[in-house]
Amino acid sequence: MKPTKRTQLGRLPNRGAYDSVTIHGILDAAFLAHVGFQADGQPIVIPTLYGREENKLYLHGSAASRMLRELESGVPACVTVTIVDGFVLARSAFHHSMNYRSVVAFGIARKIDGAEEKERALRVISEHLMAGRWEDVRPPTAKELKATAVLEFAIEEASAKIRTGPPVDDEDDYSLPVWAGVLPVVLEEKEPIADSRLAKATPVPKYIRRAR
């Protein structure tokens, strides 16, 4: 993707990336998106899970969801994801920062109506969150599919912004007796907690063990 007026980074442009490999890689590593749009003259931002397929994102929720009803009307939308990799602790308050990977994507969503296409999109979302889970669970019924709205968000324009590395202090501050560096931040799955009503002797699936 080439940078456009909407996606070109104005501040710290050296941290920007516009290639699909970088953008898709960040989208695949994250799982929570924030969707921004305008309704009745009011900006609204909603967090939601998603799944990616090629240059499309799938969003889902209740058929009564305000966000999905607004998006399916064809309003312009912005989807952002951010992964925090570390707290960057500098010698001065001014130069503190974070190491992160983020994506800002612009586009318009369309509603998916066909049951087969809708179920396939839901599978993409499920597999994005936990690969292998869809084959293990009961598929949605016709009634459940009807109660669920699924949207396809085609990415028209997007940019990534990434920061890595240590703090960058003013030269005069490097001699200060203040600890400086990076405190890494990692999202870590813990030991699975079984549902209290789980049938006895039901093993933890291998794909959940792999996720840890």
Domains by residue range for the chain, with CATH: 13-170+179-211 (2.30.110.10)
16, 9 Cβ separation under 8 angstroms: yes
pLDDT in 10s for each residue of the chain, 212 residues: 788 888 888 888 889 999 999 999 999 999 999 999 999 899 999 999 999 999 999 999 998 898 999 999 999 999 999 999 999 999 999 999 999 999 999 999 999 999 999 999 999 999 999 999 999 999 999 999 999 999 999 999 999 999 999 999 999 999 999 999 999 999 988 999 999 999 999 999 999 988 86
Counting Cα atoms < 13 Å in the Cβ hemisphere of 19 gives 5
Q: Which residues contact 201 (CB under 8 A, 6 or more apart)?
A: none
* Helix (H) / strand (E) containing 197: none
Neighbours of 8 (CB within 10 A): 13
Is residue 77 within 8 A of residue 33, CB to CB? The reply is no
Per the CB < 8 A criterion, the answer to whether 52 and 24 are in contact is yes
Torsion of CA 193, 198, 204, 207, to 10 degrees: -90
